[in-house]
Structure 1
Amino acid sequence: MGQIERFADLVVRAGVNVQPGQGVVIDTDTAHLEIARAVVEAAYRAGAGWVETVWSDGPMQRSAVDHTSIEQLTRTRPWALARIEEWAAAGVASIALVGDANPHLFDGADPEKVAARRWEEAQARRRALFDRMRWSVVAAPNPGWAQQIFGEPDVDRLWEAVGTAMRLDAADPAAAWQERSATLTGRAHQLDALELTEVRYVGEGTDLTVGLPANPRWTGGGMIDPNGIAYLPNIPTEEVFTSPDRRRADGVIRVTRPMVIAGQLITGLRVTFKAGKIIDVYADEGADVIKAQVATDEGSSRLGEVSLVDKDSRIAKAGIVFHNTLFDENAGCHVAWGQSFPFAVEGGMALSEAERVDLGLNMSGVHTDVVIGGAGITVTGTGPKGTVEIIRDDEWVL
């Protein structure tokens, strides 16, 4: 079995854990055609009843940004909402193959239009995924992504790095991920037992204190759907995470890895928070994109996630910058502004959106992860049992 086939098998068996007769929807770019075909084949081999691919294409997206108004780019489409509801009602498994085929696709475009989102559709999709569907987001190698990392379109070299990060080099990658998932779940249970009320990140250029809502719940590794079926929302995943109180974040962060948002490279990013809100953004490159994104809606300038990752991460050990958030966020501690996770508070899945907001969770049409960890990062947690070190110099010590 080749790398692409091992990749597809992992996504289908451990990612969404396709069940006999289940429908599968795959969101992918035309740049990932060969990989998408392998995933479709693997899904049918696993017993899928039907598989539908939803295609996107970078140049077509650029055409929309160049020639369509903000009003059109943000307008809710009733047919799209109905489709999401039908997928959720049918218990469809959702696979997203991501990976920028052209990280400079939106160079020179209007930043506000690049950041535009169909907010109501994004919220409906998130509700469906969190409440009723199994889902997995996986990055797919392509020449453009390889070019961004290595300076040349060496896809074979990229597959080698991706294979290491995704444990495709294991005799049974799915079993290897089950083992890693158990370790991360154990760390989440440790944090739950501390009943933390805030966490603090301190490193070079970073000193951020973030408050947590009452009865926070930490998540690590895989998840369980309403029918008791295990799955991995992200592959790879090396994090333990929760959602903070959107009203309580103060300090500064220095983003330690470049990032790509809507096809645009962001480097040297520094962000300042006060009373939970982003009040200042600076970047060596791409600041306008970030400023436009955090102005998207009421919650886009507030945090929706705090995450803990140490140097034991496979991505950290790879020693390269992947220029892909899914990978790079798992190389070090990170935070994300935008949408919170409803399961991040005790009983949160049973609460209404209004009740989650009252508890301090955030609502937004965006969710953007930024890495602030790496060598020298220290994370402490404070709660009724005092202040404890969780990570010291990028090593889990709890």
Structure 2
Amino acid sequence: MRDPRVARLADILVSYSTKVQPGEKVLIEAYDIPDDVVNALIDRVAEAGGLPFVTIKRNSVLRALFQNATEEQIQLIGKLERERMEQMDVYIGVRGSLNISEHSDIPDDKMKLYRTLWWHPVHSETRVPKTKWCVLRWPTASMAQQASMSTEAFEDFYFDVCTFDYARLFTLMAPLKSWMDRTDRVRLTGPSTDLSFSIQSIPTIACTGECNLPDGECFTAPVRDSVNGTITFNAPTIYQGTVFEGISLTFKDGKIVEATAAGGNTEKLNQILDSDEGARYIGEFSLGFNPYVLQPMKDILFDEKIAGSFHFTPGQAYEEADNSNRSAIHWDMVYIQRPEFGGGEIWFDDTLIRKDGLFVVEDLKALNPEELKKA
């Protein structure tokens, strides 16, 4: 018997997140997830009058493919997948992971082929700007282990946070979007962190479950050459199968001029940041405030929504909040400002907006965890 929570999630993805209309072509891309989930999505898309298309992928198979990849081969795969994506109206990507480190031993030159010739043209250049899309994880024992939870408890958490009332959240986020739209200078402070930049004239996007589940963030981008100072991230991050901790970045006129990481990963960090020119500039700045996501679990679709956090993203800017930075990289790095993580402040121009993870101006207090839980 199909879990009723799966049917509820499929309904949210089809009717709310992507708003599938009759006749629309919908690509369902599934990585390491149960067939029942794919089947539920197919059924719901069909009920909405959409035309479902399906791709099943396995991370262990992709590992073998990447390790043996040639430039000609990856370029052709990217070309074919881009042509298919151009035919789609909607994309739903559900990504499970039986082993979060499955791709950690793939040589960097092979991953660079994938990033630049496959992922970037298919997703950054085609899927993101040209389709209605939503991306989410699927709960696995591996993810539960990352979160230091039992598999059953993590599944309960997952369905609670992914089926939050995001439609109501949109109204509560309007004042924050207004603040960001009229702000010029931003300053971020905290332990080993003092960073300043401008967001003047860059659009602000309120995220309430249309493109990601879970959701609960409001993002823009810094003016490309305006970032100065140092930030030392206090949440771990996984990129290309490698866990990075203690990443510290120093900026001068927008560019990352020094980058270090704990645990001997400084060389690999800099290899990624040297992928192309845009990888050393920032493409996104976002505030996270999902009241149910409180601890980092090494999964960015959850971690970037942590209550009392912000993330700062080397690489590609989104076209809807565009600062003109272009890169095959888009690496969200998370800093949590709640007291148990060391605290910190966010200033918009000369106004203190958030202190120690809580909004302090009156019209933003509804986004604090205890208030959001009442919504």
Q: Report the TM-score range of the alignment, normalised by the length of the smaller protein.
A: 0.7 to 0.9
CA distance in 2, matches of 1:127, 1:147: 34
CA distance in 2, matches of 1:123, 1:249: 27
CA distance in 2, matches of 1:218, 1:82: 30
CA pair 344-108 structure 1, distance change in 2 beyond 3 A: closer
CA distance in 2, matches of 1:378, 1:178: 28
2:286 alignment counterpart: 307
1:144 alignment counterpart: 142
Q: Say which structure, 1 or 2, has more relative contact order (CA 8 Å, 6+ apart).
A: 1
CA pair 397-336 structure 1, distance change in 2 beyond 3 A: same
Indicate whether 1:393 and 2:356 are aligned: yes
Indicate whether 1:322 and 2:297 are aligned: yes
Task: Tell me if the contact between 1:301 and 1:338 (Cα under 8 Å) persists in the aligned partners.
Answer: yes
**Structure 2 segments unaligned to the other structure (5+ residues):** 362-375
Task: Tell me if the contact between 2:29 and 2:93 (Cα under 8 Å) persists in the aligned partners.
Answer: yes
CA pair 392-341 structure 1, distance change in 2 beyond 3 A: same
SS in 2 for 1:368: coil
Question: Quick one: percent identity of the two aligned structures?
Answer: 23
Alignment equivalent of 1:181, drawn from 170, 179, 194 = 170
Indicate whether 1:83 and 2:84 are aligned: yes
CA distance in 1, matches of 2:42, 2:360: 42
Alignment equivalent of 1:199, drawn from 186, 206, 224 = 186
9-18 vs 119-128, greater mean Cα deviation? 119-128
Task: Tell me if the contact between 1:339 and 1:367 (Cα under 8 Å) persists in the aligned partners.
Answer: yes
CA distance in 2, matches of 1:22, 1:109: 37
CA distance in 2, matches of 1:288, 1:103: 21
Q: Could you tell me the TM-score, scaled by structure 2's length?
A: 0.85
**CA RMSD for the aligned pairs?**
2.4
Residue 115 (structure 1) shift: 4.4
Q: Could you tell me the TM-score, scaled by structure 1's length?
A: 0.80
Output the amino acid matched with 2:28: I
2:369 alignment counterpart: none
1:111 alignment counterpart: 108
1:2 alignment counterpart: 4
**Structure 1 segments unaligned to the other structure (5+ residues):** 223-230, 346-359
2:214 alignment counterpart: 236
List per-residue Cα deviations over 1:110-167 (Å, max 9, x = no partner).
Answer: 234334434365245334445432111111112222233327xx4322111212322x
Task: Tell me if the contact between 1:245 and 1:362 (Cα under 8 Å) persists in the aligned partners.
Answer: no
Residue 108 (structure 1) shift: 3.4
CA pair 297-117 structure 1, distance change in 2 beyond 3 A: farther
CA distance in 2, matches of 1:181, 1:143: 32
List per-residue Cα deviations over 1:75-132 (Å, max 9, x = no partner).
Answer: 7743333223222xxxx11111124321121333323433443436524533444543
Residue 254 (structure 1) shift: 1.8
Output the amino acid matched with 2:284: E
CA pair 294-13 structure 1, distance change in 2 beyond 3 A: same
